[in-house]
Amino acid sequence: MLHVTDATFQKEVLEADLPVMVDVWAEWCGPCHAIAPMVEAIAEQYDGRAKVVKLNSDENRATAQQYNILGIPTLLFFLDGELVDRTVGVQPIQAITYRLKRVMIKGGAQVDAGPREPLIRLPRKATEWFAIVMLIAMLVGIVTRLFR
């Protein structure tokens, strides 16, 4: 994955032909290291359709100040040299991918919808089903006592 600096930011991000996601991070930042595998997976998945780069905020303070980076990890999304979206903090990979796809669509790219997430996740373990059954039984008991 490409690491950009204050000196290369203009060329690699603002003048890029593709939508760009910039991962602003620092070496000491635990949450930054937590999202790093997700950022790398997204970079691999969208290779050739979007550009994913990293910017160390401690070593590149001018760019961090220019984009008002107050907390990290921050993900910046650029299209045609313009900042169009940002997110701060750890996000699930689905949320990051959704934002990137939204930027890609703004740029006119055809984007695969990907697998749909279920609206409700059904319990998979017997203990989860048992907890639900117990909760329903408890609620039925409370309701019947109220209407005696």
Give the pLDDT confidence score for residue 111 in this predicted structure.
63
Q: From CA 78, how far away is CA 15, in angstroms rounded?
A: 10
Same domain, 26 and 89: yes
Number of domains in the chain: 2
Catalytic residues: 29, 32
Residue 147 lies in a domain: yes
Give the pLDDT confidence score for residue 139 in this predicted structure.
86
The answer, as to whether pTM is greater than 0.85, is no
55 in Cβ contact with 1 (< 8 Å): no
Residue 83 lies in a domain: yes
pLDDT, one tens digit for every residue, the chain (148 residues): 899 999 999 999 999 999 999 999 999 999 999 999 999 999 999 999 999 999 999 999 999 999 999 999 999 999 999 999 999 999 999 999 999 999 999 887 766 655 554 545 555 666 676 777 778 888 888 888 888 7
Residue 112 lies in a domain: no
Burial zone of 35 (CB within 10 Å; 0-12 exposed, 13-18 middle, 19+ buried):
buried
Residues ≥6 apart with Cβ < 8 Å to 104: 19, 46, 49, 50, 111
Which range of residues forms the domain containing residue 133? 118-148
Residue type, position 87, single letter:
T
